[in-house]
Amino acid sequence: MSLFSKNLRFLRKKGNHNQDEISILFNKRANTIGNWENKKSEPSLAELIKLGEYFKVTIQELLHTDLEMQSFQHDLGSKIRSEERRVGKECRSRW
């Protein structure tokens, strides 16, 4: 599972959760979540489905998309568009 561990850690931290909280939500031991994040073990398909539903991502995204990079690019794009609007308004007001 190429990006799963990284994505799980990113989604957990993005939601301000610690491993204990996630373990309770998914009825797992805290060390199980740590093992998933450290590539020591992998969740079952049923667990992947539940994780995807909880974090509102597809299994495909969970396994194969760098969600942290995708989030960064989305945030950067939003900032750029916001700055473009601000500069556009400023330019129009000068004319």
pLDDT higher for 74 or 68? 68
pLDDT digits (tens, 9 = 90+) for 4-54: 999 999 999 999 999 999 999 999 998 999 999 999 999 999 999 999 999
Of 45, 46, 38, residue with least CA distance to 12: 38
Q: Which two tokens stand for residue 3?
A: 């990006």
